[in-house]
């Protein structure tokens, strides 16, 4: 079962996050929690993303405008990594000779 967290849980877990920041990150859709009767319900992925947002905004001092650029780029990078992992799994299922030929083609560019 996937764990779910309330807004209060999130504020407790992500110690550098204020309630104001949490509300703003939801408003601008940096995180997309599930709506619930009393606020929102957050997932473990949301928690990790909020930790990253704190790192970027506080440690690297990126403002919201910069985050509007960086977050979609990170999302794209994550998607590409997932696609590459799927491709690698598919290639692993091919016969060794074919994998070797593909590897050679990749080296030769």
Average pLDDT over residues 58-85: 96
**How many Å separate Cα 2 from the centre of its chain?**
17
Query: pLDDT of 9-41, one tens digit each?
Result: 999 999 999 999 999 999 999 999 999 888 899
d(CA 40, CA 4): 10
Instruction: Give the CATH number for residue 8.
Output: 1.10.1660.10
Does an H or E element contain 74, and which? Answer: helix 64-92
Domain containing 43: what range? 1-61
d(CA 75, CA 71): 6
Residues 17 and 28 in one domain: yes
Residues 26 and 7 in one domain: yes
Structural domains in the chain (count): 2
d(CA 28, CA 31): 8
**Cβ atoms < 10 Å from Cβ of 22:** 23
pTM of the model: 0.79
Residues 32 and 2 in one domain: yes
Residues 57 and 76 in one domain: no
Residues 10 and 32 in one domain: yes
Q: Residue 1 has what pLDDT?
A: 59
């Amino acid at each position: 079962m996937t764990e779910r967290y309330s807004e209060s849980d999130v504020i407790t877990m992500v110690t550098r996050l204020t309630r104001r920041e949490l509300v703003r990150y939801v408003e601008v859709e940096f995180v997309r929690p599930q709506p619930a009767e009393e606020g929102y319900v957050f997932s473990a992925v949301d928690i990790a993303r909020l930790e990253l947002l704190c790192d970027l905004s506080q440690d690297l001092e990126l403002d919201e405008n910069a985050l509007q650029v960086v977050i979609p780029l990170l999302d794209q990078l994550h998607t590409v990594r997932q696609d590459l992992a799927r491709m690698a799994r598919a290639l692993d299922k091919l016969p060794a000779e074919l994998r070797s030929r593909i590897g050679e083609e990749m080296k030769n560019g």
